Structure 1
């Protein structure tokens, strides 16, 4: 099965309700339907000013800084996050206050409702087992992805999404001279293994 390829630049930006930035929604599952809310949402955000995140009750949220000096999030205590740091996982209902450390940032978000999610920085040259029901890769820099049977050249800021990886061992190699993070592994398993055509 050929993975789905989604380039961030092809996704229309949507302004935040508080005016503090904009979001590009890269992928939702199931597809948006008011009667059937998404269980998975992957997006890239541009944060332009200080302000609180939106609240997402019942959602587990992963957040990673892609570009910029980073942010400080108010989650009980202040937690600083910069490009290259491990993704932060927190309760989406927390709606933490966000303070920019030194100017605008670009960030990756994965939100899971009613299932298991994953966001993990790619270790250059090291294989990764796509063990969840559906898995993906978000590239910060251009490079080559393979699952052992097929190989794809991906541009920077591209989401590759595979609905049936079946435990394949993936690898991503960025172009020479790239500093970490070069990309992020993503994954999601719904509560029911037969939901929505993942299997």
Structure 2
């Protein structure tokens, strides 16, 4: 078993990060009218982040938009989100920040208000993974839900010798919460 992206002919189990990031980006553009969007996370840092970044860029191109500056190239942890928050505070906020994962987004959510910025009024923030903190963050984090348990089970089965399709791609779903600017609705999940 390999990590997605290491080899095209080796079995891999992954979530559809490209399509999910594109859907999330389209939501920010079409529903909220955002035109200046930035990606937070190191696109070359992992195959998953690369797919998410490519989906983000594809959605921007389809809308006739370009990225608002270079990606904010940070790691994938809360501290990196804090550093990214300080950078956008100093250089200017885009309309929306599309984070490579929820930890980065949580760092931004925790730091930007202390720098005088309101979320989502001044900047929308989204994550990816749908970690448990996403639901209790303030505001609650719009994110992409991945079938983590199924990903792990299928990867383990492959590692134990079960025959897998060469490339198993599991579906994701957009989880709409307040950090993108949508109204509070505890059941607002799209399939």
| Bin of the TM-score, shorter chain as denominator length | under 0.3
The structure where helix makes up a greater share of residues is 2
Higher RCO structure, 1 or 2 (CA under 8 Å, sep 6+): 2
Question: If the length of structure 2 is used for normalisation, what is the TM-score?
Answer: 0.28
Question: If the length of structure 1 is used for normalisation, what is the TM-score?
Answer: 0.27
The structure where strand makes up a greater share of residues is 1
